[in-house]
Structure 1
Amino acid sequence: RSKLGGWVPGQKYYQAVLQHYREKFTDPVFIVASDDLGHAKANFAQEDDVIFTELNSDVEDIALLASCSATAMTVGSFGWWAGFLSGGEVVYSLLTRFKETPDAHPISLGPLGYENWRGIFANGTHASRKYQDDL
């Protein structure tokens, strides 16, 4: 659970994101920015291709993330803005437990103009393209 009461996806989501981008790109490097680096490091401690930004500035972190070719986010406006500004593919968590909360992202953002955004369920399973497009 996040500090604001929303649900944050767990290890299965993170592993699905890493797998997705490892299959998509050759030798990717993952940059992690977080307001809880201890939590982030605990989730990615075994990953050789993950580095953590410790720039100590939200502005520097978002500028760095926006320069990336792809983005993955959990919940919150910081990750959303990083994905939006990057212009590349954005993987976001589908939090299906609470459909009426602000943390519940829709299955498909394509109809809203976000064709390059892909949802992965918080348990790590991908929403199929057809399933996303049908909603």
Structure 2
Amino acid sequence: MSMLSSVIKTTTLPASIKTNKSTEFFLCVKYIGRLGNNLFQFASGYGIAASKGMKLVVGVTDKINKIFQIQNSKIIHISRNKQECNNAIFRREHQACAYDKNVVDFKPDATYRVGRYLQSWKYFHNVSNELREILKFRNHIQTKAKRLMANVLRKYNTARENVTFIAVHVRRGDMVDSGHGYLVATKEYFEKAFQYFRSYSSPIFVVCSNGLTWSKANMPKNFTVEFIDRNSPEEDLALMASCDHVISSVGSYSWWAGWFTNGTVTYYKWPIVEKSKRRIAYSSDFMDYFYPHWIGL
């Protein structure tokens, strides 16, 4: 049994999530926000559809379909205009970043739309292995990520098997002084996270950020650090996905960087101001959002 399986076995999981035989009804999600948001919406929609034996509708022009090699399957229906969702019955979550059993408490006897954000691993924990096969970056994105990785290896005259790549995602931008209760990871957090990985074999820290000026000034010294810039969000995510482990910060995009590597992941334990309006989006201990085996610092 893997460490992840043993940890999840001790965590309260939604009893209703299991794969059922297929029906003729569709499940729809509305993609709102950016890439990290869209990934949660797709993954949670897929998990719910699988549990109901329904088909998740994905539009040809949806961002998620343009970035990943999503294909028709027993659970996915690729649609040109998503007309299958025109009369869908909407079921909305009560908390954007926590599992809501009421969202999935329905019989697959009609077409449903679920949403809005669905940011909890509990919606799709039972289909994570399937999702790792489905969420393959399109070839041109993979090619760019491989080229970026090769450039780093060439700079240090080493081979991939000789180093441990630690992706570092630093979310700044619109979360800094937003006035909405968001908190960004601190310099002290990154110092602790870098120290956590110090003993790993020949670590190279690869930093992707929408605040590179701050990152360059505040990343810990005396480590091998590479700052990556001038790439699209999907190219940065593909690069981080090809690393071994992740130092995440805050936000859904950072969360998915951790998910894709499937290695050791650290996260900033205080993403929201207590008693702020945004705090109610999460469960009391944040563990509907963060995996229990991830390391909070």
* Fold agreement, TM-score > 0.5: yes
* CA-CA distance at 1:37 after TM superposition: 0.6
Structure-1 residue corresponding to 2:240: 65
Question: Which residue does the alignment assign to 1:127?
Answer: none
2:192 matches 1:7: no
Partner of 1:19: 195
Q: Structure 1 residues 112 and 2 mapped into 2: Cα distance closer, same or farther (>3 Å)?
A: closer
Work out whether residues 183 and 271 of structure 2, in 8 Å CA contact, stay in contact via their aligned partners in 1: no
Change beyond 3 A, Cα 1:112–1:52? closer
Q: Is the 8 A contact 2:264 2:294 kept in 1?
A: yes
Secondary structure at the aligned position of 1:65 is classed as helix
CA drift at 1:9 = 2.2
Deviation at 1:13, TM superposition (A): 0.6
Q: Is the alpha carbon distance of 1:98 and 1:104 closer, same or farther for their aligned partners in structure 2, counting shifts above 3 Å? A: farther
Q: Secondary structure at the match of 1:14?
A: helix
SS in 2 for 1:114: coil
Residue 23 of structure 2: aligned partner: none
Q: Indicate yes or no: 2:263 matched with 1:88.
A: yes
Q: Secondary structure at the match of 2:198?
A: helix
Partner of 1:32: 207
| Structure 2 counterpart of 1:119 | 296
Match runs of 1:38-53 below 5 Å: 38-44=213-219, 46-53=221-228
Any unmatched runs of 5+ in structure 2?
1-174
The size of the alignment, in residue pairs, is: 118
Contact 2:208–2:229 under 8 Å retained in 1:
yes
Q: CA–CA distance in 2 between the matches of 1:47 and 1:81?
A: 28
| 2:184–2:250 Cα contact (<8 Å) kept | yes
Contact 2:184-2:271 within 8 A present in 1 as well: no
Q: CA deviation at 1:30?
A: 0.5
Q: Structure 1: how far apart are the matches of 2:214 and 2:282?
A: 22
Residue 85 to residue 97, structure 1, CA distance change in 2 (3 Å): closer
Q: 1:78 aligns with which of 230, 249, 253?
A: 253
Q: CA deviation at 1:89?
A: 1.2
Name the % identity: 31
Measured after TM superposition, the shift of residue 96 of structure 1 is 7.3
What letter is aligned with 1:79? S
RMSD, matched Cα: 2.9
Residue 71 of structure 1: SS of its match in structure 2? strand
